[in-house]
Structure 1
Amino acid sequence: MKKLIFFIPLFLLASTYPDFRPCLVKYSFVKNSVPVTKTKSVTFNKKNCINYDPFTGMCIIKSNNKRKIKFFDNAKLGWWAASIKHNEIYVGNYAKDALFFSPALLSVKTVKNSVVTDMFCRAIGIGRGDGFIKSDMIKHFVKYGYWGDAGIEVDENMKIVSFDPFYIKGIKTGEKLEKINLKKATPEIFTKTILEGVKGKKVVLCIDGKKVNIKIRKKKYLYTPLEHFGISVNDHLVITKLPKKLQQIYFIKPGAKIIKVNGVEIKTFEELKKALSTYKNVTISLEQQGITATIPLR
């Protein structure tokens, strides 16, 4: 006998919620991946990926799909929704919107690799286990395989928390991104215009009354402005790539850890990005096997 899980909030009467059984029938074929095109499916099992997204955890796999799922982009908060996978279904409502790369949430469990659907059986996302990735982001990454970047990171209040001083000029951390292409800047507009932007597309930003013109570039995971000097860092502040010239001059190799920027102690990757958001000269202090080296970069 097939296992059927159907969750309904106890305070609701049976007549007050929509019948999702047709949606369960429609998406019962979905098991370990969700078909998005004829040749590509999305899964959150990181295996056999032809393209992996470290920001959302989406794994794109090659598949021969006899059926593909059409995604609906305009789901509204508060709508009835369900997470459906094979013979499991959890019914609640669309409770919280996504914030940049963080998943949207239902009021109930969201099954990993499930189809998240509204009351009309329209797919609005794919379950990640801790929430779901919305349709527009799924379609963008499947089509392009990258996210857009404008050289800035902002918080949910659209305040600049870090930026690449080699890519965007005349701004400071703490300033507010007010408009994007003349539209009021919000996390939703930032996602649709910047993160889902296509490489090379021109965008006009208004930051604290200043007009800034940029072109969308590809967003790189664990990127810092140190990349301009050929230096790569992991999320533990450990150097993974260091030019041979710097290795020879300072007797430091990949594996060294960044401990200070301009003499100020750095403990997290976010602190490092913020410290490097400056147009002034920068020095980084590295430590490896008891040896400390301070390297001036500019």
Structure 2
Amino acid sequence: MPPAPRPLPAPRAPPTIAAADLTPSLFARHRGRRPLLIRGLLNRSDLATWSTTLSTQLLPDATTVDAMVAKDNRTFVANPLFTDTVEISAETMRAEAQRPATDDKEEGTRYYHRQVVPTPLLPTLHVDDILAPNCFAYPDEDKAKPELIKAWISSPGCITPLHYDRCHGFLVQITGTKYFFQFDAADAPLLYPSSGASLPTHLSRVPNVALLYGLDATTGTIQPAVADPDTVQWTLNKFPKIKDADPPFGILLEPGDALYTPPGWYHEVVSVSGSVSVTVPWDMSEVEVATMMPMHMAL
């Protein structure tokens, strides 16, 4: 019997800078082309504000929130094929967001909740004073609409499976940690895009990406020995072209980090610990749609 396949080569670290070093010319080299990790976008004061308001503005006591529960207790997509919606207490959701990383096999229902970021918290994200001046190149079109800036609050072990977005976007990590895999848009044909017949068109059909690359769910580090050989073998037998893709960028996001993902880049996101993060999206400009839109987004 041939040996079971090993996990795929380790992910690459994305280009990384400190928030103080972000400039318009630097971001222009990344916009629409490759990721960029910005360390320290949120400072200690910003993070302390979020910590305080978690129980007053986001998840106040004696209230309830709608949360997604995954049919397999791990794969979260806002689609009835993957998740149902339940009403839980804000205290329960807050406790989930503060849980440490746990073994993937540990029992217990996982929850994922999303909501628009309350207006008083928007200045802590530094969209207007850092991101917009450096990252938004088309003043008449680049708009970070407040109603689309959302907080994502999750239990440990929640996975947003491999998918792409049609917009530019930053994910800003607030509390806890998330592991982020990003695949070059040029490798989309190797990632089994959905035809839309049975899955949403922005999803890949490849499951188990974190396992393929040996993500240790308890530490948020790449440890090939932790990958289940049977799962790796089944996935690579069914979706062999992924072996020909360049290794993805992979990074464990810490509180205060902001990660840019270009339009059309497939990515999988794993909540290693309980987590609060925020997405800041904005649309492609007319020039970008006409000149650099990834081919798979036009289908």
- Asked whether the two chains share a fold, i.e. TM above 0.5, the reply is no
Higher strand proportion (structure 1 or 2): 1
Question: Normalized per residue, which structure has more helix?
Answer: 2
Q: Which has the larger radius of gyration?
A: 1
Q: Which of the pair has the greater relative contact order for Cα pairs under 8 Å at 6+ separation?
A: 2
Report the TM-score, using the length of structure 2 for normalisation: 0.29
